[in-house]
Structure 1
């Protein structure tokens, strides 16, 4: 905490953040910037015009605390992961958690955890990616249009070698295909095409093949009384 302070100018509104140089350097992205720019510089300032301030705030919170609000908690009794309660905290004044954030780059609301994941990918923060992915799996009640828009954003902002977030969206869409079909959003999105829907087509075919193989399996035709 005694290292120099770096000022960060974030987003189109140029919101200012401050962070310790040593903390920022936990990210390979910022470490490279600090080494290249600030070796003999007096004014330590980084401009990030394309970032979303709310998402960058979550990244900074992770760098300092190892997580971002709402925290990920493990329910030992039920052996499952949960998000901390989102009732207003009298100490911090924080209220209900917003699961979506307006992203200027996309021009619409997107899932916050997807944005955090993609930002963590850019900054080289693998543990933050794991946290964001697990949190995203705990979200519910998200509109179909938001899910599809977030999926497209995920595809556009992650490399082909990183399949975890993409696989999450493919599984979610297949699992909730009835809801997506009724929403009327899927057809409009599919007309736009792209790798998302190619992968979705392949995943759906594999899903149907798996169901078919289970149905045709000899053991699946036996009645319970014949099983030993």
Structure 2
């Protein structure tokens, strides 16, 4: 059945919504919209990095000084460089940072990492045990430890520039680099000279390497090993401590009683010095 049509006589006033109510509804809608549509983060493109000011890096000193250039937006990924760049006057046309004591090749590798998140020689795959691509600039076999020293210098620079990811990467590449006994000694000397004694991340593997292989490697580089122990007594102590730890563990595993008991009369006596 059709519904009866309702007709409104002409002249009858139509009820209008008060203007104030309309404004109030609009205000409510405006207050809700920002919550419904949050602002998206602005993506920084590679082009944005290239638009940033150029920083002059003076690496080395005297006749050995070399000038490198890098974009400020790349450099400030490092808190060390971010602090230095923050000191430049607003709108400064010349921006220079002096690095008089830094190694040129290692500094170049740090810059390579800041731009590419990697440095040469790169890993051949993303696997944890991936080997490194060959470096034709290094001798083979590496009797000088140049390959190990390359990564060790990058490790110490990454520590100074406060780049923990680069520090970890350099440390991982150290363990993927082959060398000889003399090369390992050159690397150990650098580590014990240039790193903090509290940095067990890089020092302990060096001592452990020699502790587990000293009976073989010592004969391949006996003079170098002796000089290393005399120059850095801490190295000799660390190696000896690990060797003794290994012996104690083997003794405990075999459940053998120690041959010398403190305070016992059965302990080995000191050899008598002949008077004749």
- Indicate the residue corresponding to 1:207 in structure 2: 246
Equivalent of residue 50 in structure 1, options 101, 107, 113? 101
Using CA pairs below 8 Å that are at least 6 residues apart, which structure has the higher relative contact order? 1
Equivalent of residue 34 in structure 1, options 85, 98, 102? 85
| Number of equivalent positions | 200
* Secondary structure of the corresponding residue to residue 23 of structure 1: helix
Equivalent of residue 193 in structure 2, options 137, 144, 156? 156
**8 Å CA contact 2:212, 2:243 repeated in 1:** no
Matched, 1:196 2:247: no
Question: Partners of 2:236 and 2:91 in 1: how far apart?
Answer: 49
TM-score w.r.t. structure 2 length?
0.64
- Indicate the residue corresponding to 2:122 in structure 1: 71
Q: 4+ residue stretches of structure 1 with deviation over 6 A? A: none
* Secondary structure of the corresponding residue to residue 18 of structure 1: strand
TM-score w.r.t. structure 1 length?
0.77
Equivalent of residue 186 in structure 1, options 206, 210, 225? 225
Q: CA offsets, 1:203-226, max 9 Å, x none?
A: 222122223223339xxxxxxxxx
Question: Partners of 1:75 and 1:121 in 2: how far apart?
Answer: 24
**8 Å CA contact 2:148, 2:174 repeated in 1:** no
- Indicate the residue corresponding to 2:60 in structure 1: 11
| Structure 2 gap segments, 5+ residues each | 1-49, 257-276
**8 Å CA contact 2:58, 2:100 repeated in 1:** yes
Normalized per residue, the structure richer in strand is 1
Matched, 1:126 2:184: no
| Structure 1 gap segments, 5+ residues each | 87-94, 103-107, 218-228
Root-mean-square deviation over aligned CA pairs: 2.6
Larger Rg: 2
